[in-house]
Structure 1
């Protein structure tokens, strides 16, 4: 039987779950203030911190799902993403528009990554 490790767990959720060499992060947002650029930058900082804590990094991301509260922010969010991702390591990615948990939120990232060997 394989082990499941949960990090930063509450009654509702874990911020990270590790299973079979894969790290699953809960949705990461960039706070409730600022424009989509600022919120995306903060969400990516949070992603990096959780990946590092779990034993991974942004170069080991397998998949990212991006939710935008307004799809018209797609190009602005992509400017931040494109400058953050290491060339040659882009994960599989999807992006869509969704009503997020709070009206102030502009972006949410859902990330799955491999552990570093």
Structure 2
């Protein structure tokens, strides 16, 4: 069974299938890449909880930066957020994002917590 949450005409924010949680790409607000990354990760936290998961259960993350020059600044926020011993498989690349003000977008796939 496939379960979709917050479904609109273009996408669902959460899709669950066979114990796996897929989140749509998340962006954040703020002036700096650090601000946007913090806000983006807070949105991911909220969606994961709603989906019956959490950051300890993230399997994979794909990070898109509008400028790879922001890699270290984004990583400083990311490293403080990822629970020790629970780092997911991750890729990071540079891409033109949907709006010029966006500096980071993160896509996450996670496992549901047991008993969820």
Query: Considering the TM-score relative to the shorter chain, is it more than 0.5?
Result: yes
**CA–CA distance in 2 between the matches of 1:51 and 1:86?**
14
**Do structure 1's residue 101 and structure 2's residue 98 form an aligned pair?**
yes
Task: Say whether 1:87 aligns with 2:84.
Answer: yes
- Between the aligned partners of 2:44 and 2:61, the Cα distance in structure 1 is 11
**TM-score relative to the length of structure 2:** 0.97
- The DSSP-based 3-state class of the residue aligned with 1:38 is helix
Aligned to 2:50, what secondary structure does the other structure show? helix
In the aligned structure 2, how far is the partner of 1:63 from the partner of 1:57? 13
Q: Deviations over 1:17-36 (max 9, x none)?
A: 000000000000003x3100
Aligned positions of 1:1-117 closer than 5 A: 3-31=1-29, 33-117=30-114
Runs of 5+ unmatched residues, structure 2:
none
1:53 Cα offset (Å): 0.2
Q: Deviations over 1:61-84 (max 9, x none)?
A: 000000000000000000000000
CA RMSD, 1 decimal: 0.5
Question: TM-score of the superposition, structure 1-length normalised?
Answer: 0.96
